[in-house]
């Protein structure tokens, strides 16, 4: 087999092998191959979570099947099926949105293949075949365990007497295919409707919105309950909710005699056929325009959208101002970095919306509003700090970092101080935007709560960035350098501290003795963390290349 793979087997096969080999490579990654390893680590980390759900689901359906009436059992099945269908659609949509630029051949493909005796339709046909292969593999992988496990776990005497495994598997795969082909069709439509210069701006924003939306939907899907399912099945709502269409398809093929389920199933089939047909048609007719769009429409000069007057007042130091302008220009011009920003924003919003409804179970009625603002600020700070550290680690143009390397000795301290101010500026906005509502609803606590949370945020910032030794967007990045299970443990460890910290801060806000004590302790810890971090910066050298951990660690005496 290896000897056969070393041989050349025609233009289509070699193009297909080329596109499959670099499908998950990204400009944000230092070298090819690391993205695939990171993706495998993420998948292997997520698969065991299905095992965690087996026990509770089994116990729930054993109890519901023992009831004398079928209503609660069938409502629970519908709710869980809608949850799983929404989750699977969100995950395949997230994967498609994340690899938005890989849906069509990119500029590097044309530059590498343009000199070869290949036609544009050959390149597009091989790219389409690679895209369909990757999509089919993702569909099978995502649906393998839920499609067989959930129908078995939810079996009971009140279940409809139909082929439930086949019905759910077919509906789930069809729902994921609808999500995938719908996004491909969306990009194809934009490609044919927009002008070349507008296409780059619009698709970059659309990609970020899709990443944020699909991440938010994946998180919010876990809060789907039978009450929500019953409301979503109403005609005025169900016609606009594709996951509900495929719920009707699953229920209809499982043996549900409800005419509404049959109508929703028919809508799902029509939607899938429409999305698939539109995606294939736009893909096949777009190859000439797409090539011209990439090769013949260079981007024009970008306008300076950052008022110099404001920057001069906020950052009088020219070195700090230059670094902040560089960071702002990167975030406004790079679609990859905008995608990450919107992804973290969508995830944070979904986490807040998912947790606020259940806040009344842990907080007394007179403290619900205060607890809600605390929860919002704590989660906002957490995702801001995690997202900023992750975002700053991703390079924008590695070959251009020589400019910073040769001038580092002159401006290192000012650069790092500008990074601190940049992050703290967005943290300050997080507190200032809802401040008027807090003062109106909470009175004097509307001021005490932001002051207390500001001290928490300053301390958390210095803890998160204690070992930070990079200039944002200038250092190479190796995904998967830290094992995924370690990152997951660190993230869930921090997440579990949020309710504990919320309870302590909420109690302090309602105690005239505890409030000044807690605030003084936070300020004391912040000043020491800030002093230690500034002292460590004196001899710090910035990192511009991230390498794998060596087999033998040295003493790092020259650092």
In angstroms, how far is the first alpha carbon of the chain from the final one? 48
Domain ranges of the chain: 46-293, 317-536
DSSP state of 161: S
Where would I find the H helices in 303-444? 308-314, 318-333, 335-355, 368-392, 402-406, 408-432, 435-442
SS (H, E, C) 471-511: CCCCCCCCCCCCCHHHHHHHHHHHHHHHHHHHHHHHHHHCC
Point out the least confidently predicted range of 429-438, 485-494, 534-543. 485-494
Q: Which pLDDT score is estimated for 538? A: 64
Residue 554, classed as helix, strand or coil, is: coil
For the stretch 71-103, pLDDT in tens is 999 999 999 999 999 999 999 998 888 888 777
Give mean pLDDT, residues 57-75. Answer: 90
Question: When comparing pLDDT for 294 and 376, which is higher?
Answer: 376
Rg (CA), the chain: 26
Q: Which pLDDT score is estimated for 558? A: 52
For the stretch 442-480, pLDDT in tens is 999 999 999 999 999 999 999 999 888 889 999 887 766
Residue 540, classed as helix, strand or coil, is: coil
Is the whole-model pTM more than 0.75?
yes
pLDDT at 26 over 70: no
Residue 443's CB: how many other CB atoms inside 10 A?
10
pLDDT at 378 over 90: yes
Q: Which pLDDT score is estimated for 300? A: 46
Q: Is 246 left (phi over 0), alpha (psi -120 to 50) or beta?
A: alpha
pLDDT at 144 over 90: no
Q: Which pLDDT score is estimated for 302? A: 47
Question: When comparing pLDDT for 479 and 210, which is higher?
Answer: 210
Percent pLDDT > 90 in the chain is 35
- Give DSSP secondary structure letters for 79-96: HHHHHHHHHHHHHHHHHH
Q: Which pLDDT score is estimated for 51? A: 65
Q: Assess contact for 342 and 209: CB atoms under 8 A.
A: yes
CA–CA dist 94, 86 (Å, integer): 12
Q: Which pLDDT score is estimated for 54? A: 80
When pLDDT is cut at 50, 70 and 90, the band that residue 9 belongs to is low
pLDDT at 305 over 70: no
Point out the least confidently predicted range of 282-286, 376-380, 414-418. 282-286
Q: Assess contact for 157 and 250: CB atoms under 8 A.
A: no
pLDDT at 112 over 80: no
Q: Please, how many CA atoms are within 13 Å of residue 487, restricted to the half-sphere of its CB?
A: 13
Q: Which pLDDT score is estimated for 354? A: 85
Average pLDDT across the chain, whole number: 82
CA–CA dist 109, 122 (Å, integer): 12
pLDDT at 242 over 60: yes
Percent pLDDT > 70 in the chain is 82
When pLDDT is cut at 50, 70 and 90, the band that residue 312 belongs to is confident
Q: Which pLDDT score is estimated for 301? A: 45
pLDDT at 495 over 80: no
Question: When comparing pLDDT for 43 and 248, which is higher?
Answer: 248
Residue 361, classed as helix, strand or coil, is: helix
Maximum distance among all Cα pairs of the chain, rounded to whole angstroms: 79
Q: Please, how many CA atoms are within 13 Å of residue 61, restricted to the half-sphere of its CB?
A: 22
When pLDDT is cut at 50, 70 and 90, the band that residue 533 belongs to is confident
CA–CA dist 132, 26 (Å, integer): 19
Long-range CB pairs of 270-278, under 8 A, 24+ apart, other chains included: 271/178, 271/242, 271/245, 272/174, 272/177, 272/178, 272/181, 275/177, 275/178, 275/181, 275/182, 275/185, 276/177, 276/181, 278/181, 278/185, 278/188, 278/189
Number of residues in the chain: 559
């Amino acid at each position: 087999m290896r000897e056969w793979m070393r041989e050349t087997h025609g233009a289509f096969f070699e193009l297909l092998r080329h596109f499959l080999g670099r499908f998950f490579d990204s400009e944000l990654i230092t070298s090819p191959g690391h993205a695939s390893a990171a993706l495998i680590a993420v998948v292997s980390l997520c698969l065991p979570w299905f095992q965690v759900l087996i026990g509770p689901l089994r116990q729930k359906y054993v109890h519901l099947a023992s009831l004398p009436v079928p209503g609660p059992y069938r409502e629970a099945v519908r709710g869980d099926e809608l949850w799983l269908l929404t989750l699977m659609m969100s995950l395949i949509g997230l994967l498609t949105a994340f690899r938005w630029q890989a849906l069509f051949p990119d500029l590097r493909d044309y530059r590498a293949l343009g000199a070869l005796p290949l036609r544009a339709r050959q390149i597009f046909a091989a790219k389409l075949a690679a895209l369909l292969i990757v999509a089919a593999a993702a569909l099978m992988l995502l649906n393998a365990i839920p499609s067989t496990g959930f129908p078995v776990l939810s079996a009971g005497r009140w279940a409809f007497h139909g082929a439930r495994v086949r019905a759910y598997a077919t509906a789930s795969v069809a729902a994921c295919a609808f999500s995938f082909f719908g996004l491909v069709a969306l990009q194809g439509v934009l490609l044919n409707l927009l002008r070349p210069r507008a296409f780059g701006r619009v698709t970059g924003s659309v990609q970020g919105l899709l990443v944020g939306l699909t991440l938010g939907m994946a998180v919010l899907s876990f809060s789907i309950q039978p009450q929500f399912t019953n409301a979503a099945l109403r005609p005025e709502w169900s016609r606009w909710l594709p996951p509900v269409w495929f719920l009707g398809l699953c229920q209809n093929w499982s043996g549900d005699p409800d005419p509404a389920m049959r109508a929703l199933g028919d809508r799902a089939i029509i939607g899938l056929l429409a999305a698939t047909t539109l995606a294939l048609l736009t893909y096949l007719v777009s190859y000439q325009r797409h090539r011209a769009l990439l090769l013949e429409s260079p981007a024009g000069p970008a306008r300076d959208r950052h008022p110099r007057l404001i920057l001069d007042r906020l950052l009088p130091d020219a070195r700090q101002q230059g670094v902040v302008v560089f960071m702002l220009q990167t975030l406004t011009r790079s679609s990859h970095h905008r995608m990450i920003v919107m992804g973290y924003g969508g995830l944070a919003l979904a986490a807040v919306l998912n947790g606020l409804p259940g806040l009344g179970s842990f907080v007394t009625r007179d403290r619900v509003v205060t607890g809600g603002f605390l929860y919002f600020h704590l989660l906002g700070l957490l995702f801001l700090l995690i997202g900023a550290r992750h975002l700053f680690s991703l390079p924008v143009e590695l070959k251009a970092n020589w400019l910073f390397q040769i001038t580092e000795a002159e401006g290192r301290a000012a650069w790092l101080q500008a990074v601190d101010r940049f992050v703290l500026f967005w943290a300050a906005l997080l507190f200032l935007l809802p401040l008027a509502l807090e003062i109106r609803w909470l009175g004097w606590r509307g001021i005490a709560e932001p002051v207390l949370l500001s001290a928490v945020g300053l301390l958390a910032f210095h803890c998160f960035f204690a070992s930070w030794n990079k200039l944002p967007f200038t250092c190479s990045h190796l995904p998967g350098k830290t094992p995924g299970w370690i990152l997951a443990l660190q993230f869930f460890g921090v997440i579990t501290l949020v309710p504990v910290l919320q309870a302590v801060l909420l109690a302090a806000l309602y105690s005239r003795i505890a409030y000044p004590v807690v605030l003084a302790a936070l300020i004391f810890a912040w000043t020491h963390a800030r002093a230690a971090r500034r002292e460590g910066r004196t001899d710090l050298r910035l990192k511009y290349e991230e390498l794998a951990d060596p087999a033998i660690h040295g003493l790092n005496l020259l650092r």
